[in-house]
Structure 1
Amino acid sequence: MNLEYLQSFYITVKCNSISKAASKLHLTQPGLSIQLKNLEKEFDTSLLIRSNKGVELTEEGKVVFNYADTILSMKNNVERDLKSLQQNRPKLLIGSCKSIGEYALPCALFIFKKLHKELDISMEVANSPEVIKKLCDHSINIGIIQDNPKKNGIDTKYLASDELILVGNSNNTTEYITIEELKNLPLILREENSNARYLVKNAFQEKGILLEDLNVIYSLNSPEAIKSSILSGKGVSFLPKIIVKNELKKGLLKHITIDEIKIEFNYYLIHRQNYIFNKYEQMFVDFITSSKKAFC
C-alpha cells in the first residue's frame, strides 16, 4: 500500500475538497486525482463519491479512512522515534487526564527526571477519553486516566484512589446539604465527554436524578477555570480532592457534604495489550506504580 496515496486520500476527506486538499499537499488537482484513483486501484474498489459539494465516503471508503487515521499516526510515531534515536537522546511521552496531570504528576516527573537526567520527558494533558484515544491510535504508549476504561485491547495498573467532592466558595457557610437543596445551587460541570462528568451523571442516576434536574449553569473543560469560577462566587462544582486539597487547607474553598452521594474513583496507568515498553518506559511504569512516585 502506497502511504503517500493513503495520506492524500486522508487529507482529501478531512478537507472535503479536492482543490483544498491539493493546495495543502502542494499538488495540482489532476495530480491529486491520479493519486486517489491509484489508491482505489490498489484496493480494487471505489472510495470516494465526488460532487460539486465536495467528496463523500463510500462504505468501503469509511473502512479505509478509519484505518488510515491509525496507520498515518503510527507512521508519524515511527518517524518521531527514529528522529529521537538519531538525536541520540531518549524521550518519554506520557498522556494524562487533567486532574492528575496538571496537579499531582508534575512532582513525580520532577523526581523521575532527577533520577534520569539524560531523558527528555513530555506530557500531553487531555480528558480521560482523549487519552484513551491517543493510546489506541498509537500517539502515546503510556496513559494515566480517571477510572478503569474497561476497553478491549487496553491493560491497566492501579495508581491511586480519589473522590469527586462538591466544593463551594468559603463564604458559603453551608457544609451539609440534601440532594433537593443541591438542585437550587448553581452547578458548574466538566465538559460533555469528560470522565468526571460521567461519574457525576452516574452517581445521580443511581438516585433516580438526571443532570437536567440540577441547576447546571455552564460546563468548562478546565479544572483550573472551574476553581476560579467557584472562588469568585459563581457556583459550586464536583472536583477531585487531589486538585483542591491546597485550597481546602487554606480555607479558600469549602467541602460541601451531600446526603447519600459519594463519588469515589481510581486513577490507572494504561497501555496497549501486548505492547512491550522500551527501557525508559518500563522504568517509568515501575517508578510511578511504586511508593516512590510522590504526587504533589
Structure 2
Amino acid sequence: MNLEYLQSFYVTVKYNSISKAAYHLHLTQPGLSMQLKNLEKELGSNLLIRSNKGVKLTEEGKVVFNYADTLLSIKVNIERDLKNLQQDVPRLLIGSCKSIGEYALPCTIFVFKKLHKELDINMEVNNSSEVIKKLCDHSINIGIIQGNPEEDSLDIEYITSDELILVGNSSENIDHITIEELKKLPLILREESSNARYLVKNAFQEKGVLLEDLNVIYSLNSPEAIKSSILAGKGVAFLPKIIVKNELKKGLLKQITVDEIKIEFNYYLCYRKNYVLTKYERMFADFITSNKRAFC
C-alpha cells in the first residue's frame, strides 16, 4: 500500500475538503484527486463520496481511515526512531497555543533544557485549533492547547487552570461594569478560529448576548498585539490572566469585572491516542504537568 496516498486520504478526511487538504499537502487539487483515485483503485473500494459540501466516508472508507491513523502513527514512530539513531542530538518538538507558548512556556523550556543539556528543543506557536490540526495530521506529536479539545482521537493531560478577564488601560476610570455598559466600550477580540474567541462567544451567548451586540472594533491573531492596543488606549479585551499578570502588577493594565461573566478554562498537554511518546516527550509531559514547570 502506498503510504503517501494513504496520508493524502487521511488529511483529506480531516480537513473535509480536497482543496484545503491539497493546500496543506502542497499538492495541486488534480494531483491530490489522482492520488485518492489511485488508492481506491489499489484497494478495490470506493472510499469517499465527493460533493460541493466536501467529502464523506463510505463504509469501506471508515475502515481504511481507522487503520490509516494507526499506520501513519507507526510510520512516524519508525522515522523518528531511525532519525534518532542517525543523530547525536535528541530532539523535542512542541506545538503550543499562543497564550501560554508566548508567555509562560519559555521559562519552562529554559529550566527543562538546563536539566537535559543534550536535548535540542523547538517550539511552534499557533492558536489551539491549529495545534490540534497539526497533531491530527501528524505534523507534531505533542501539543499544548487552551480548553478541552472536541477531538476523540487525542489523549489529554491537565496542566493548569486560567481565566479570561476583561482588561483595559490603567487610565480607564472603571473597575466594574454591567454587560449593557460593556456594549458601549470598544472591544478587541482574537481571530475567528481562536479558542479564546470561542470561549468569549459562548460566555455571552449563555447570557443571551451575541458578539454582534458588542462594540467589536477589530480582531487580532496575536495576544501581544492586543496588549499593545490596550496599552495605547484603543480599547479593552478579554485576555488570559496568565499573560497579563505582569502588566497588572505594574499597574500598566487593569482588570475590569463584568457582571455575570466569568470565563474559566484549562490548559492541556495533548497527543494522539495511539502515539507512543518518546523518552524525552514523556519526560517533558511529566515536567510540565508537575509543580516544577517554572512558568514565567
> Same fold, TM exceeding 0.5?
yes
The residue type equivalent to 2:201 in the other structure is K
Query: Tell me, what secondary structure is at the counterpart of 1:103?
Result: coil
Pairwise CA distance, 1:41: 3.2
Structure 2 vs 1, CA of residues 232 and 152 (structure 1 numbering), >3 Å: closer, same or farther? same
Output one character per residue of 1:235-283: Cα deviation in whole Å (capped at 9) or x when no partner.
1100001101111111111111111111111111122224332211111
Q: Write the distance in 2 (CA, Å) between the matches of 1:150 and 1:6.
A: 24
Identity among equivalent positions (%) equals: 72
From the superposition, tell whether residues 267 and 175 of structure 1 become closer, same or farther in structure 2 (CA, over 3 Å): same
Unaligned stretches of 5+ residues in structure 2: 13-17, 49-53
Q: Give me the whole-angstrom Cα distance separating, in 2, the residues matched to 1:246 and 1:172.
A: 18
Counterpart of 2:210, as a letter, is: L
Q: Name the residue aligned to 1:103.
A: 103
Q: Secondary structure at the match of 1:96?
A: strand
Aligned to 1:284: 284
Amino acid at match of 2:288: I
| Preserved CA contact (<8 Å) 1:74 1:139 | no
The whole-number CA distance in structure 2 between the counterparts of 1:271 and 1:108 is 19
Q: Which residue does the alignment assign to 1:265?
A: 265
Q: Against the structure 1 CA distance between its residues 59 and 204, is the aligned structure 2 distance closer, same or farther, given a 3 Å change threshold?
A: closer
AA in 2 matched with 1:142: I
Aligned AA (1:127): N
Deviation at 1:3, TM superposition (A): 3.8
Aligned 8 A contact 2:73 2:275 in 1: no
Q: Does 1:143 align with 2:111?
A: no
SS of corresponding position for 1:227: helix
State the secondary structure of the residue aligned to 1:151. coil
Change (3 A) 1:183 1:279: same
Pairs within 5 Å for 1:74-93: 78-79=78-79, 82-93=82-93
Partner of 1:167: helix, strand, or coil?
strand
| Shift in Å, 1:155 | 2.1
Tell me the amino acid that sits aligned with residue 266 of structure 2. Answer: N
Matches of 2:256 and 2:109, distance apart in 1? 32
Deviating more after overlay: 136-145 vs 123-132: 136-145
Cα distance change of structure 1 residues 78 and 234 upon mapping to structure 2, 3 Å threshold = farther
Provide the residue aligned with 2:158 in structure 1.
Answer: 158
Alpha-carbon shift at residue 2 of structure 1 (Å): 2.5
Rounded to whole Å, the distance in 1 between the matches of 2:275 and 2:237 is 38
Tell me how far 1:38 sits from its aligned partner.
Answer: 5.2
Give the structure 2 partner of residue 119 of structure 1: 119
What secondary structure does 2:152 align onto? coil
What corresponds to 2:44 in structure 1? 44
Alignment of 1:1-296 (within 5 A): 1-3=1-3, 14=22, 15-16=27-28, 18=30, 39=39, 41-44=41-44, 78-79=78-79, 82-296=82-296
> RMSD of the alignment, in Å?
3.4
User: Given the superposition, is the C-alpha separation of residues 208 and 227 from structure 1 closer, same or farther in structure 2, using an over 3 Å criterion?
Assistant: same
Change (3 A) 1:153 1:171: same
Q: Does the C-alpha gap of structure 1 residues 81 and 123 become closer, same or farther in structure 2, counting only changes over 3 Å?
A: farther
- Letter aligned with residue 174 of structure 2: T
Shift of 1:79: 3.9
**Counterpart contact for 1:97–1:145, Cα < 8 Å:** yes
Shift of the 7–208 alpha-carbon distance from structure 1 to 2, 3 Å rule, reads closer
Q: What is the alpha-carbon distance in structure 2 between the residues aligned to residue 260 and residue 8 of structure 1?
A: 47
Q: Alpha carbons of 1:259 and 1:157: their partners in 2 closer, same or farther (altered >3 Å)?
A: same
Q: 265-274 or 281-290: which moved more?
A: 265-274
Which shifted more, 167-176 or 78-87?
78-87
Asked which structure has the greater CA Rg, the reply is 1
- What is the identity, as a one-letter code, of the residue corresponding to 2:286? D
CA distance in 2, matches of 1:4, 1:265: 38
Distance 1:41 1:266 in 2: 45
Give the structure 2 partner of residue 29 of structure 1.
Answer: none
| 1:176–1:256 contact (8 Å) kept in structure 2 | yes
TM-score normalized by the length of structure 2: 0.80
Query: Residue 293 of structure 1: CA displacement?
Result: 0.6
Instruction: Please give the alpha-carbon distance, in whole angstroms, between the structure 2 residues aligned to 1:72 and 1:269.
Output: 21
- Is contact 1:167-1:254 (8 Å) kept? yes
Count how many residue pairs are aligned between Structure 1 and Structure 2.
279
